[in-house]
Structure 1
C-alpha cells in the first residue's frame, strides 16, 4: 500500500468478513452450540455460524461470561502395580474416614502433575552477551516427547500428606 495524499476521510473497502453486530439472536445461537456440546471449540463455532473468531470470543466472554476449563491429565493405561497402588491408597483413606479419624479441616485434595527432566541454569547463566547486530537468542520450549515423571500429590490444610511417584509402565 502506497502512502498517497487522500482527500477522502472515509475508510476504503476491504475484503474479508464483515463485522457482525452482537444481537440477542447471535448470543442465543452461541449458547445453544455450547449447550449441545460443551467441548465445542471457537473454530468449530466459526464454521457453523459464520461469525468471526473475535465475535464469538467476545460473546462467550462478555455476554455469556464463560471461560474454557481444562482437565488434568490422568493416565488411561495404568500398569497392574500402579492400579493396585492407587486402590491401596484409596482404601487406606476410606478406612480413616470411616473410623472418624478425620475432621472437616482434614479434607484432602489430590493433584496429578507431570514434571519434565530438564536442568535449569541460574538466571545469570541464561543471560547471553549479544552484539547490537545479532538478535537475542530464544528459549526453546520443552519437547512433547521429553521424558516426564507423573506424581500424585495429596494435600490437606497442614501441607502435603503423600507424594506418590507413578512408575513408568
Structure 2
C-alpha cells in the first residue's frame, strides 16, 4: 500500500510539471520497473489528477471489502480460522421444537412413568394405540448456506427450530400401535376435529 501511495504522489508530481501521459508513464516505468501499478490504474490516476482532483485516497466503493479494516486479507482470516484455530463452517441442525427446561423435565417424567409401566407389564406396548395431531404448514425454509456459522471441531452442531410462513394449513393425525401405522386422518383448515 505504501508503494502504491508513493506512485500516486509521483503521478501527481508529473501532472503538476505538465508531463504528457506517455512521458509520465515512461518515467515511472523506468523508476519502479515491474513494481509499477497497472497501466489502467496509472491512466485513471493521471486523468484524475489532470482534472484537478487532488485526493490521493481511493474513493469508497460499494460491495464487500477485500480486506478487514486492520489490513488483513480475507484469505488470511480464512486461513487463521480454518487452520490455526481449527474452526469450520457448519449448518444448523433442524429440531422439531426448542423446549424450555420445564418442558424437558415434564417429558422426562412422562417417559420415566411409561418405562415403569413397561417393566411392570411385558405386554403393555401391545395394548397401546397412540396418535399425534400436527398442523401442516407451507413454509419458506432458510437455506443451509444462510444458516451456516463458524464452530470449533470440539463444539456441538448448532440447532434451531424450524420456522414457517403460514399460507395454507391442515391438521394431520396419524394413529399408531406396536406394529406401526394404523390410520392417517387429514382435516383441512376450518373443519372441526372429531
TM-score range, shorter chain: under 0.3
More strand by percentage? 2
More helix by percentage? 2
TM-score w.r.t. structure 2 length? 0.23
